Structure 1
Amino acid sequence: MSASPARLLVMLYDRLLLDLARAQTAQQSESWEVARENLLHAQDIIGELAGSLNVDAWDGAQNLLGIYNYTGTALMNANIYRNVELTRECITILEPLRQSWHDAAAQPLASAPIGHLGTLA
């Protein structure tokens, strides 16, 4: 509860990628219930990220929202159709964003624009 907004965002991304890695492993071993739980949690996190995004704060926000919308739909389909390729695709898309948020959170706040949760954009 004492984490800064930037740290909370990084934590969300870290958990999102952990859920996706677990889902991918479960899909590969046909552990469908485990895959389902992790994919649903990942979808919840994507929804939280999309809902916290201030699309008026910076020029790229609409594009980021598009990525969230796409990956949310892809994860839903990965779950419904038991499609590990869609899960892998989402990992490929979201991992660089996770790293970017880690990098941004390490920068001084004074020079950073506002985006998610009133944090770095």
Structure 2
Amino acid sequence: MYATTTTVRAAQAQSAYQGNAIATASPARLLVMLVERLVLDIERGLAAQQAASWPDAHRHLLHAQDIVAELEASLDVDKMPAGKQLASLYAWLREQLVRANVGRDTAVTTAALTLARQLCDTWREAAMASVG
């Protein structure tokens, strides 16, 4: 009983911490957090594909698609330099995630992961530059 109560309290504390981190994050940090989650979802999707755990792969890759859709929706193409190129990258990434999910194709998932990691590194660098 004690272990269960402790586990529940730890989960509640972690949830509160994460909620506070999101609520107090700058827009740049929120973007980085979102793209980091995108990378994590694709990594998990790829691992699930490699283990032939198709329901898990589907769930992770679907969440990754949702993140890319959010990135696309929040992008103001006209106000951002190279906004159209970024919109094209997001569209390509979303299409690859759909292909990877439907086709259960680890090579396509790997290509999507490579781009997601590059985007993550770029947004992380941009966020750090905006602070300093």
**Global fold match (TM > 0.5):** yes
Higher relative CO (Cα under 8 Å, sequence separation at least 6) belongs to 1
1:48 counterpart = 2:75? no
TM-score (norm 1): 0.86
SS in 1 for 2:24: coil
The 2-side partners of 1:74 and 1:108 are apart by 30
Q: Partner residue of 1:118?
A: none
- In terms of fraction of residues, the more helix-rich structure is 2
Q: 1:27 aligns with which of 33, 44, 49?
A: 49
- Partners of 1:4 and 1:71 in 2: CA distance: 25
User: Which residue matches 2:118?
Assistant: 96
| Amino acid across the alignment from 2:73 | G
Give the CA deviation at 1:3.
Answer: 1.2
Point out 4+ residue stretches in structure 1 off by more than 6 angstroms: none
> Which residue number in structure 2 is paired with residue 37 of structure 1?
59
Of stretches 100-109 and 50-59 in structure 1, the one that deviates more from structure 2 is 100-109
Tell me the CA shift for residue 96 of structure 1: 1.2
**Structure 1, unpaired ranges of 5+:** 111-121
SS at match of 1:108: helix
CA drift of 1:109 comes to 5.5
Q: Report 1:51-66 matches (<5 A).
A: 51-66=73-88
Residue type of the alignment partner of 2:106: V
Q: Which runs of 5+ in 2 are unaligned?
A: 1-22
Cα offsets for 1:73-97 (capped at 9, x unmatched): 1111111111111110011112111
Equivalent residue, structure 1, for 2:5: none
Counterpart in 2 of 1:119? none
For 1:63-82, list aligned pairs within 5 A: 63-82=85-104
Give 1 or 2 for the bigger CA radius of gyration: 2
The alignment of Structure 1 onto Structure 2 pairs a total of residues equal to: 110
